[in-house]
Amino acid sequence: MTPHINAKLDDIAETVLMPGDPRRAKWAAENFLTNPRLVNEVRGMFGFTGTYKGKPVTIHGSGMGMPSLSIYANELITVYGAKTLIRIGSCGAMQHHVNVRDVVIAMTATTMSTPSRGIMRDLNFAPCADYNLLEQAVKAARRKGTPTHVGGIYSSDVFYDERPDLTETMTRHGILGVEMEAAELYLVAARHGAKALAICTVSDHLITHEALPPEDREQSFGDMVEIALSAAFGEE
């Protein structure tokens, strides 16, 4: 149906969880959805649709970085009718009180540049989460007892950053963590009237340099997926 998604129109649910890694989309679908089926594999960007407690859910990779996510978020909303998009990914902690394995729920996403910059022009738009999704995610995290932090994150457009001064500025202003997709997700959702939220598991720490071993990541990411699913459907 699009250059990047070959799913049929009714193959994509209104609720979409978006990990960056397509293999993580496969893992999450197989572990949290009932009867997941592959609905997209163009360019190796897997998308799976199944049900969660009887409700349709799609888990679709976004790729790394805001340009890649922007493509998929735009097409999922404007072509396939997705109404709720929740990023499930990893982030690097930028505060001493945020620990590896904790969950960060992004109320806002600061950025220097996104693919939407050309549309916004000189407007300093403030990308933020949908409040209802945010509230439900916080409730779900509390019920699970998952160590969780809510606040601002930083969406970087580079992975190999050479700006220690920028990291210091973000840390000094209370930014909880850094990742590479949330700001553009919030912008695209706002533009098209969809709801969006970013939930991230802390995989490494920019201050202490602690990092989550690869073999531990899937288990730690499970809490994040459960929180996202609970938030999407307003479970009590």
Answer yes or no: is 3 within a domain: no
Domain that holds residue 47: 9-232
Q: Between helices 182-192 and 66-78, what is the axis angle to 10°?
A: 30
Answer yes or no: is 39 within a domain: yes
Structure confidence at residue 127 (pLDDT): 92
Low-confidence ranges of the chain (pLDDT < 50): none
Answer yes or no: is 1 within a domain: no
Could you count the other beta carbons within 10 Å of the beta carbon of residue 204? Answer: 16
For 116, 120, 139, 192, the CA distances from 103, given in Å and listed in that order, are 27, 30, 13, 27
Answer yes or no: is 55 within a domain: yes
Structure confidence at residue 197 (pLDDT): 98
Answer yes or no: is 156 within a domain: yes
Answer yes or no: is 63 within a domain: yes
Provide the residue type at 213 as one letter: P
Please tell me the total count of domains within the chain: 1
Structure confidence at residue 219 (pLDDT): 66
Compute the distance between CA of residue 91 and CA of residue 70 in angstroms, rounded to an integer.
18
Structure confidence at residue 113 (pLDDT): 83
Answer yes or no: is 97 within a domain: yes
Phi, psi of 127 (to 5 degrees): -70, 130
Kindly name the residue from 10, 122, 161, 204 that is annotated as catalytic.
204
CATH number at residue 88: 3.40.50.1580
Answer yes or no: is 4 within a domain: no
Provide the residue type at 85 as one letter: L
Largest CA distance in the chain: 49
Active-site residue 204, yes or no?
yes
